[in-house]
Amino acid sequence: MKPLLYVLGTAFSGVMIASCASVPPGDTYASEGERLYAENCSRCHRQPEQFSTQGNETLKRTISKGTHKMPAFPDITAEEQQEIIAYIRNL
Ligand code: HEC
């Protein structure tokens, strides 16, 4: 009986951790830029402050065209790019 309970307990706590880590959409972001960054960029770039030295045009081009191994984000509009940049600049 013990091993089964252990497996169930482990699975349950895994679910608890997963649900705590995911941010509910919409209401916990300080800005639109923060939300866009969280949804599109943070899975690869955990630390947005690393981009603070890059120029606006470089950032916009990287977002819309991608670079090397980074995919392009053609669906992110110019306004949204601006929101993301504002978020990166104000960290
Ligand atoms: C699938 C993973 C992935 C996602 C998602 C992603 N990036 Fe990247 N990004 C990369 C990789 C990999 C590089 C390094 C590119 C290289 O030199 O190969 C990179 C590089 C960059 C650079 C540096 C470019 C340079 O020339 O130095 C910037 C700025 C950047 N990403 C911004 C963003 C932003 C903003 C988003 C969200 C819109 C984003 N990235 C989403 C993978 C990703």
Residue 66 beta carbon below 6 angstroms from any ligand 1 atom:
no
CATH of the domain at 53: 1.10.760.10
Nearest to 42 by CA among 16, 56, 21, 14: 21
Q: Mutate which of 62, 70, 81 to test ligand 1's pocket (most atoms within 8 Å of Cβ)?
A: 70
Domain membership of residue 82 (yes or no) is yes
pLDDT digit string, tens, across residues 36-81: 999 999 999 999 999 989 999 999 999 999 999 999 999 999 999 9
Domain membership of residue 88 (yes or no) is yes
pLDDT of 27 reads 67
Per-residue pLDDT band for 11 (boundaries 50, 70, 90) equals low
Contact at 8 Å (CB) between 59 and 87?
no
Residue 82 beta carbon below 6 angstroms from any ligand 1 atom:
no
Domain membership of residue 69 (yes or no) is yes
Structure tokens at 18: 């997963």
Whether 87 shows a pLDDT value over 70: the answer reads yes
Per-residue pLDDT band for 8 (boundaries 50, 70, 90) equals very low
- For the chain, how many residues are written? 91
Backbone phi, psi, residue 58, to 5°: -65, -45
70 forms beta bridges with: 67
Number of compact structural domains in the chain: 1
pTM for the complete prediction? Answer: 0.77
Contact at 8 Å (CB) between 81 and 60?
yes
